[in-house]
Structure 1
Amino acid sequence: MKKLFALAFMITASVAFAQDMDVVKGDFAFLGGEKEINVEFDYSKLTLMKEKKTEAQYIDERAEDLNKKGKGNGEVWKKKWNGAREGIWQPKFLELVNTILTKAKKDVTFQEGLSSAKYTLIVEVVWIYPGWDVSMMKQPAKVSTNLKFVDSANKSNVLLEIKAEEAPGDQWGSQFSNETRIGEGFAKTGKSLGQMLVKKAYKK
């Protein structure tokens, strides 16, 4: 019985933490000799929830709901949400992609603000589902992005595009913060990208 339970758990875990990473355009050849990749994050096409609400719509509705539960709670949450991009989501992505590459002993760094880098990775965030956690029951966050490697001098020139769909954002134990759960989705995306680059761009 214990073996069956363990098997069921592993299958469930593998499904829960699966993520689709598909190359839409281009190949990895141009990245082989590069040691620095500039990174930019683009939220201009972001939608949220299953209904694909605009970010402004999501913020207004969420803040209104929180204010009903406690006066001023919505305004406090807005500050947390607005700070999550630079405080949680983007650092999580960068940390994991660089950790994977470092562990594989690849001499390359992904970082924001690298003006001298020949190539730029634009992380186009297109959809977020925050998930939820009510102690014994929870739903992981999901993050979908388009990962576009472009020529830094001509960013309309997309050399490689990877579609990363529904990266699961979850962790062991309870996590009641939507922003932190979403951050785990960014971390998963960075980890999956790093693993793909190790296999296809930095083989040597």
Structure 2
Amino acid sequence: MKKQIIGLFLVAASLVSNGAAAQKIRLAEGDLSPLAGEKELNVEFDYKDMKVGKMTETEYVNKKRDEYNKKEAGKGDNWVKAWEDDRETRFEPKFLQSFNQFSGGMTAGPLASAKYTMLVKTTFTEPGYNIVVHRVNAQVNLDATIVETANRNKVVAKITVEKSPGGAWFDNDFDTGQRITEAYNNAGMSLAGFIRSKAH
């Protein structure tokens, strides 16, 4: 039994590491050294002009709403509400929780008093899917632009995160929101580690 548990753990760890390996994070411009010693980081999120799969967000949302409403009256409208609400109730809290866990002492959140602000813009979302016999992880691409809070025109650095993966262990992720939440979880962890390693 013990060997089976260890085996399952190794398989799960392999799946997570394989997904994370596809993720790319890089410093696109600027310098992160000004963040050295900072204990607070204001964070704001933006989803404007985000692409979803091969569609604009508006096209994707309208398509899903119509599909669900055809199956059951009102189901599509409820789906749209959940799609929008998940940002504040699931994606952003998970991102911040993960970031704070791996930041090495820096607290990130809605902290208007912080010297620096990180503007996290989601540029692309792949919702993924799970139909039991086949599944695809969710993914998000983010642009994290760090500016002076008192002067938003003063850009300190810009970091890009590509293909941050989202999926649950053992493929138990039938809910789209859950998969995307995990993509933000991984993005928060990766950004925190990246900033910590570069802010000397």
TM norm. shorter chain > 0.5: yes
5+ long unaligned stretches in structure 1? 1-5
Alignment of 1:47-196 (within 5 A): 47-49=51-53, 51=54, 53-101=55-103, 106-112=104-110, 114-173=111-170, 174-196=172-194
Give the 3 Å change call, closer, same or farther, for CA 158–11 of structure 1 in structure 2: same
Q: Deviations over 1:94-135 (max 9, x none)?
A: 00000112xxxx3320011x1211100000110001000112
Secondary structure class of the residue paired with 2:169: coil
Question: How much does 1:160 deviate?
Answer: 0.8
User: Given that residues 93 and 186 in structure 1 are in contact (C-alpha distance below 8 angstroms), is that contact kept between their aligned partners in structure 2?
Assistant: yes
Q: Percent identity?
A: 34
Q: TM-score normalised to the size of structure 1?
A: 0.86
How far has the Cα of 1:8 moved from its partner?
9.2
Question: In structure 1, which of residues 32, 39, 44 is the aligned counterpart of residue 43 of structure 2?
Answer: 39
CA contact (8 A) 2:32 2:157 kept: yes
Q: Which of 20, 27, 31 does residue 23 from structure 1 map onto?
A: 27
CA shift digits 1:7-38 (9 cap, x unpaired): 99876653322210011001211000211110
> What RMSD, in angstroms, separates the aligned Cα atoms of the two structures?
2.0
Question: Distance in 2 between the 1:12 and 1:183 partners?
Answer: 17
SS of the residue 2:78 aligns to: helix
Q: Which amino acid aligns with 2:108?
A: F
- Aligned 8 A contact 2:49 2:57 in 1: no
